[in-house]
Every structure is written in C-alpha cells, then in structure tokens.
Structure 1
C-alpha cells in the first residue's frame, strides 16, 4: 500500500484551494481553543490532519507553530508563575517527552493512527463527565504527572491537559493557574521542537510549511476573543469533547481500514 504523502510546501501550494482552506480552518479552530483553555492544538488539529499527512509529521509541525506564540506568552507572564509548582513538573515532562519522541520515530504509522484516535476519544469521553471537585494531587506525584504529560506530548503533540489537571487543584487563584500553565506549555513546546530536530523529524520543507501556515495561529487567537464573549463554559465544553470523540472514532476507523487493505494486498 502506498505511504501517505508528506505535507511539504510544494504539495501545500499545489493542492486544491478547498484542501488548503480546510487545513487553515482546522488550524484556526485548534489555536482558538488553545487560546481559550491553554491546551488542545494537538487534540483538535492532529486527527483531521492525519487524513492528509503521516502522524510523525503532525507533531513536529504543530510544535513549530506552537513555539512561535509560546515564546511571547511565556516571556510576558513569567513574573506571575508559581515557580515551585512549575519546577516540580518540568523534570518529569522533559523525560516523558524524550520517551514519546523516541516512540514517534519507530512506531508503525497505522498503529500510531489507532493510538491517536483512541487517545482522543478517551480524553473526550473523560472530559464529558460532570466536573466534581478533584482531590489535590500530592507534591511528590509531580514526577508521574510530568512524565505522563510528556509522553503524550511527544507522541501526540498534546500533554497540556495532564499538566492542567495537576495544577488546577493546587492553584486556586485563576491567574496563577493560567500563567503557570502557559509557561509550562511554552517550555514543553520548545523542548519538543529540540527533540524533534535532534531525531530528524524537522527538516527544511517542514519549516517552510509551518511558515506558510503561521497566519492560522493569529486568526485562531482573534477568533478565541470573539467566542469567549458569546459561548458559555458548559456549552463550549460539550461541543469540544463531542467533536473530539467523533474525530477520534473516525481516525480509528481509518486505521483499521488501512490495516485491512494492507492485509488483502499482502
């Protein structure tokens, strides 16, 4: 079976206007959600993009796009960060991302697609549960939370919700939570870029592709400002997680279909 083509700059510029518009729309929505909740670009964008490019290209592409806004955000908010909470999570995050990126380089693409779809569905279903108050995680558990978020970040480009689940009960002040989460995601993104570059997952064509798609991140930030004023928190949560479950199911179905075709052709 022929491999999924790489989404290079030439392919992007020579594709149909409808396909190009779809890529921009997906990224715009993903970065709007990221601006609203502090994580989610990988969860929202990776599943639709996996229909057009290999999963191994999606993570470094989103890492490059994330990094452009992460540097600015982290620098602007650095004085409001809860440093003890941040320092407890960073070591585990670094180790976990190294493990995730290493797995990204060797796992077969159909398996990656199935894992990604299952992960997105599970997260969507988990998030749809009623949000009862959570027990505060012990400080010593930060290593486990950091490694878990790092592995998911390295594999799927999104471990931010794991860090948020650890930080939110420990930082009742909303500003402290948002700024600490923002800086942690910034560090995580830059580390993921470095790991992807070191393992050869980032090359010249991918850098040019990220540059062409960069305006979608700015459109997403503007869209988030408009949506934030009109949509209730509960309504937004239900729509978001319903879409996650649907897109994850579609990707799992695609992975199973690809495996079946490969068996028939083999």
Structure 2
C-alpha cells in the first residue's frame, strides 16, 4: 500500500496522526493552517514532494463538505474577485513545485507568514483595508498554495477586512479552499505528483482529519469573532517560526 515510501508501523505514524488531528482542528477554526501544522510531521514519514498533494486531498475532503453546508452564506462578490488570481497562482505554484528545490522558498514563506501574523495582531480585525487589489491576493495565495499547500491565510486576510459576518467569512473561505485544492489536485495529477498510493495513504489519514474537524467545532462554539482572529494571526506567527526552524533543524 505504501509503495512510495518504506513500510511503516502504527507507532511510526502515531505522532503524524496526532499532528493531523491538531492541524484539522485549526483548519476548522480559521479555514487554513493544515499544511503549516502537519507538513513537518508528515515529512518525517514520507517524501516531502508527496506531502503537498496528500494535504490537498485531505483539505478538499474537509472544505468541500463545509462549503456545501454553508453555501447560502457565501459572499460571491469577494469570492469572484479572488478566484481568477487563485487559478493562475495555483498553476504557477504547482509548476514550481514540480521543478524547483523548496528550502529557500520555505524560508521566504516562513518570513512572510510571520510578518502577516504580526501585522494582523497589531491592528483590529475590523480595520480598513489597505487597498491592494483582490487579484493579487488570489495570485499570491494560489502560488503559496501550489508550492506549500498553505495559501489560505492570504485569502483570509482579504476576506477578514471585507466581511463583517463570521458565517460569510467561514463559508466563502471554505468554498475558496475547496475549489483551490480541487484545482491543485488536477494540476498535481497532470504533473505526475498524484497516484494511487497517495490516495490510499489519504484514506488512512481520514479518521485523524475527521476527529480534528469534530474537536475544532467543539472549540469553535466557545470563541467570539475577536478571539478567532487573534488566534488566526497568532497561529501565523507560530507557524511561520516553526517553518523557518524546520529548515535550519
């Protein structure tokens, strides 16, 4: 079954499954972050080039269901402004993923994520938007999603400043992530990064993802809007720091 990497026993995968539970708990709360939380532990048990397509499979499973349930709350205006840039960005990101080494890009991503988190923590969640066009947010989020599976925070930064409704934010983010991961999966298939062995591995990870989603919903019931966005930006600082630390470790 695990033809793409050596046979593994349950204890080898236990820390990875626990990391996936945490990753999808976070994903349920803020609409992104699964790759930032889970990519390191996954890289300990399978080749790095396989991690991004695997997380895309799991992200799509979670986002598609969530987006379908909340489809009536989607803010289609902001969605339509982000969507074209996302499609082009994913194409560029997956192309780079299939051809370039990733250490320097990972360091750059870590620094950018930390900067975004600090900027978010320094201003109120409802502060006025800086004026940068939605297309460039979609493009940057798509490139980072294609390369690292972690572009959702760019979409969230845009939607956070345009949507007062928490339900609209969550629904729009879920639909964006679901469609972006579906597009990423198609591109990974075209460039030979997706195969049957990876699909089998994703099936084994589904219970951990489902548990993380369940726990995330339980925590979500106790969080207000301001707490949610403080958690979102705090997560960026921690995740970016962890990404940089992993490159040097």
TM class by smaller structure: 0.7 to 0.9
Where has structure 1 moved over 4 Å in runs of 4 or more? 10-13, 229-232, 234-239
Number of aligned positions between the proteins:
243
> TM-score, normalised to structure 2's length?
0.86
| RMSD across aligned positions (CA) | 2.5
- Partner in structure 2 of residue 59 of structure 1: 52
Q: CA deviation at 1:222?
A: 1.9
- Partner in structure 1 of residue 13 of structure 2: 20
- Partner in structure 2 of residue 187 of structure 1: 179
- Partner in structure 2 of residue 145 of structure 1: 137
- Contact 2:26–2:32 at 8 Å: present in 1 too? yes
Secondary structure at the counterpart of residue 200 of structure 1: coil
Structure 2 unmatched runs, 5+: none
Structure 1 unmatched runs, 5+: 1-7, 255-266
Q: Which moved more, 1:165-174 or 1:46-55?
A: 46-55
- The match for 2:161 among 169, 185, 190 is 169
- Partner in structure 2 of residue 262 of structure 1: none
Q: Which moved more, 1:172-181 or 1:199-208?
A: 172-181
Secondary structure at the counterpart of residue 166 of structure 1: helix
Q: CA deviation at 1:41?
A: 0.7
- Contact 1:101–1:195 at 8 Å: present in 2 too? yes
- Contact 1:43–1:120 at 8 Å: present in 2 too? no
| Cα deviation digits, residues 4-54 of structure 1 (max 9, x gap) | xxxx62577932332210110111110000001111111111133233333
- Partner in structure 2 of residue 115 of structure 1: 105
- Contact 1:92–1:147 at 8 Å: present in 2 too? yes
CA distance in structure 1 between the aligned counterparts of 2:129 and 2:238, rounded to whole angstroms: 29
- The match for 2:123 among 129, 132, 137 is 132
* Larger radius of gyration between Structure 1 and Structure 2: 1
> TM-score, normalised to structure 1's length?
0.81
- Partner in structure 1 of residue 242 of structure 2: 247
Q: CA deviation at 1:95?
A: 0.2
Structure 1 residues 118 and 53, CA gap change in structure 2 (3 angstroms): farther
CA distance in structure 2 between the aligned counterparts of 1:164 and 1:60, rounded to whole angstroms: 21
CA distance in structure 1 between the aligned counterparts of 2:163 and 2:232, rounded to whole angstroms: 21
- Contact 1:117–1:251 at 8 Å: present in 2 too? no
CA distance in structure 1 between the aligned counterparts of 2:31 and 2:140, rounded to whole angstroms: 18
Structure 1 residues 203 and 22, CA gap change in structure 2 (3 angstroms): same
Determine whether 1:84 maps to 2:74.
no
- Partner in structure 1 of residue 92 of structure 2: 99
